[in-house]
Amino acid sequence: MHRLTRATLTVLAASLALSACGGRAAKPKGEARYVARDVETLYANAKQLLDQKRFAEAAALFDEVERQHPYTVWARRAELMSAFAHWASRDYPNAIQAAQRFLSLHPGYKDAPYAYYIIAISYYEQINDPQRDSKTTYQAKDALTELIRRYPNSDYAADAKLKLDLVQDALAGKEMEIGRFYQRRKDWLASTIRFRNVVDNFGTTNHVPEALERLVESYLALGLPEEARKAGAVLNYNYPGSVWYERAYKLLNENKAA
């Protein structure tokens, strides 16, 4: 968990919660069963649970605000607070769902960037496990990209850009891992496709020099010396002092494709 992320979301959630709290606070309930309550008391109860870090219970009670008092300013705030509480409890699917619901109901509201950020961070925080498939990583990439595109000058854009770089690196690393696997199996066409994807779509990552060198290997194995020479030339132009260029240069000379 990045401290900046948690601090940013928590501070803004606190300001949202305080802006709506004007009523008296009743003793928090353990479960959000249906008991008719006035909106101010219901919201204050949810805020108390949030302050006590009882995030799952707080999320349920914020949902109850919307259920009992829909189409009110309290409901709108509660929708966003529910998304935050789900995120804080690491219930990422429900955090995403709550934030998406908020955006579908209030697409032009001033706190929409916050909802987009919750969606992006909820995907991002699920990609730490290297054994997971790439679906969640691509979802994080799409969500971060969408946030940056829509709100480039928002408080969240700079952090989103940093995380997007890390996501790109993770995706490129996964492609490299698969490409190496195909090379070990001597499935040169499949490996070429993976390494080509890294070069074409993840050009800002530090995996590109290796991908180009492994393209040289794969093209030579496929009997395509001209394509191997082109990959080597790109490697020479962009990374002339790298160990990957030295390996590629040696291979091309040995195969008389330099």
The pLDDT profile of the chain, 258 residues, written as one tens digit per residue, is 344 455 556 545 655 655 544 444 444 444 445 455 688 888 999 999 999 999 999 999 999 988 888 888 898 999 999 999 999 999 999 999 999 999 999 888 899 999 999 999 999 999 865 556 688 999 999 999 999 999 999 989 999 999 999 999 999 999 999 999 999 999 999 999 999 999 999 999 999 999 999 999 999 999 999 999 999 999 999 999 899 999 999 999 998 754
pLDDT of residue 23: 44
Number of helices (H) and strands (E) in the chain: give both, helices first.
12, 0
pLDDT of residue 3: 46
Residue ranges per structural domain of the chain: 1-125
pLDDT of residue 40: 87
Looking at the domain that runs over 1-125, which CATH code has it been given? 1.25.40.10
C-alpha span between 211 and 107 (Å, rounded)? 41
C-alpha span between 62 and 39 (Å, rounded)? 10
pTM of the model: 0.77
Q: Would you say 96 and 82 are in contact if contact means Cβ atoms under 8 Å apart?
A: no
Query: How far from each other are the two terminal CA atoms of the chain, in whole angstroms?
Result: 47
Alpha helices in the chain (DSSP H): 3-20, 39-51, 55-68, 73-88, 92-105, 112-124, 135-150, 157-184, 188-201, 208-221, 225-238, 243-254
